[in-house]
Amino acid sequence: MQPKHPRGAVFVVACLTSTLIASTLTATAATAATSTVAGTSSATAAPTPTPEPTGTASPTPTPTTAPTPAAPAAPAPRSDTTAEEEPAAEDTTSTPDDPSLAEMNAAGDHAMGSTVPVPAADRGLRTQLRSANSSAVPGTDGLDISAWQPNSSINWPSVYSKGARFVYIKASESTTYTSSQFTAQWNSATANNLIRGAYHFALPNKSTGATQANYFGARGGGWSTDGRTLPPLLDIEYNPYSGSDGTNSCYGLSQAQMVAWIRDFSNTMKARTGVLPAIYTTTDWWRTCTGNSAAFAANALFIARYPTNLASGAGTLPASWTKYTMWQYASSGTFPGDQDVFNGSLAQLQAFARGSNAGGTGSNAGKPLPAIRTKLVTNDVLSAGQGIVSGNDQYTVKLQADGQFVTTGNGRAIWSSGKTSPGARVTFVNGDLAVKSPQDKYLWHTKTNNSGADNVVITSSGDLQVRRGSKVIWRNGRPASDSLAPVARMYPGQWIVSRDAKTKLLLRSDGNLVLTRGSRTTWTSGTAGNRGAHATLQAGGDFVLFNAAGRTIWHSGTAGKKTRKLAVQDNGDLVMTNTDRKQTWHTNTAGK
């Protein structure tokens, strides 16, 4: 076993090498400065295809911080759409591998795993992986990249077609480096339907955990409950400057000091984002530098181990965990950057992105983290900022800080429990869904005590339901699921439906907007063949359909008409009305 990049050596960089590195970095920065961020260009004379921020009418749900540079785009593809994938186009681009540790040290920019030992036989493993269409490791494929893999060098459609469904992207390092490629890489990953997250390379001897967490958080290290954003990731590994900075592989910190530093970083990220960060490390580093701490079971584990035989697995894990969530198993292969795998299915990966430890990480494996989940079960309790999301990610019902239990979807708040009481909590006990004050008094409840109900969901039509198995005991009747408000978005698998439930507008996985009445199709946008498309009812009044690259492929032509809503009517017509309640556009399908 030899190190991927030698550790403990003093690197002397010649002037010529420094000049070359500086030139390379300057060129990279220039490339980034001229890159087009996905979702900012449009066809001539078409509406500007930049999705606007979601606006929500009062009552306003508690906001969740998300990565600042991210442009909204379609959710990750669902398992029911993968069978329709087209053959991968030939990948003619060449993505650079990571440079030597000496070059990274000179640049102050270290990729994830830059100090991790790899087998001497790794070169053969790389050839094996590159000749395969997907890894031999069970789970869901992914990758991690940094600015050493410039966005312009990555063939993102090829990455997706070869099986990758997630990517971690370097955002920052210590408090001295911000990736020039992060925004472009994030937006390209989004446009190509990858679930994405940001990571921070830690230098614990440079500043406190809280300081670096805040630096990271301000440069892309956020999270949201959209099912497309992975928890922020702490990359904590061997000191790349060991031997040249007067310290050691543990940055000169004692084991107790290192545990305190990681806890400081973790707690600060949790306070900023509402979710604990995942931790990337190796078992050897964890044992050496934390004393094999068992204090971080609630954080997801991203383990690094490069075996000569993939069948040998991720090896013995650090004491905090009994299972890994992600495994970095090779430094290059099928995908650009490092080769990773999520320990679970695509559905579990999506649940993990929404805040559930579905992949299994520690003593709490399989239990939901304090965030958004897909349902409540008996004895579940929600505090402010927690809630449940529909299966198609269209509707969320969440407990606000003011004590209201609020459903949002289609661009606005559409239902509320009504009464306010800061510090309230939601309980589901003895079949009854309730909002209770800090004094344990009812503010609102479904009055379904002793009904035998054992779960609560919000359906893909926005109906909040208390159920016994699949039998509905109580429901709120899917209010406002027939219409979109300005700045609302639709992603594949999402729809609005008339109040009589007979007419539906659906955005299909192939990018086609389809209006149906019963089993009959009465209108389409004619945009099939645009996988990853999403629609926006813009604040300016136009209803616009964008392809995965952010370009307009269809629009209603109603820009500037003060749109109030787009609604599916019981008569079968899809109608847009303005603030004067006058019709500005429709599909002319009434009675069809």
- Non-local CB neighbours of 390 within 8 Å, separated by 6+ positions: 396, 409, 457, 458, 459, 460, 462
Q: Which of 173, 226, 237, 482 is catalytic?
A: 237
In angstroms, how far is the first alpha carbon of the chain from the final one?
71
Cβ atoms within 10 Å of 154's Cβ, excluding its own: 25
Buried b (16+ CB within 10 A) or exposed e, 359-387: bbbbeebeebbebbbbbbeeebebebbbb
Long-range own/partner contacts, residues 9-18 (CB < 8 A, 24 or more apart): 9/243, 9/244, 10/243, 10/244, 11/101, 11/102, 11/105, 11/106, 11/244, 13/102, 13/105, 13/106, 17/102, 17/103, 17/106, 18/106
Phi/psi of residue 328, nearest 5 degrees: -95, 110
Q: Which of 98, 109, 122, 144 is catalytic?
A: 144
**213: exposed, middle or buried (C-beta count within 10 Å: 0-12, 13-18, 19+)?**
buried
Q: Which of 98, 173, 235, 482 is catalytic?
A: 235
Task: Tell me 75's DSSP state.
Answer: P
Our answer to whether residue 144 is catalytic in this structure is yes
Our answer to whether residue 235 is catalytic in this structure is yes
Question: What angle do the packed helices 255-273 and 283-290 form, to 10 degrees?
Answer: 110
Q: Look up residue 402 and give its amino acid.
A: D
Check if the beta carbon of residue 502 is closer than 8 Å to that of residue 512: no
Helix runs in 140-254, H state only: 156-161, 182-191, 209-217
> Tokens standing for 86?
């087209």
Catalytic residue annotation: 144, 235, 237
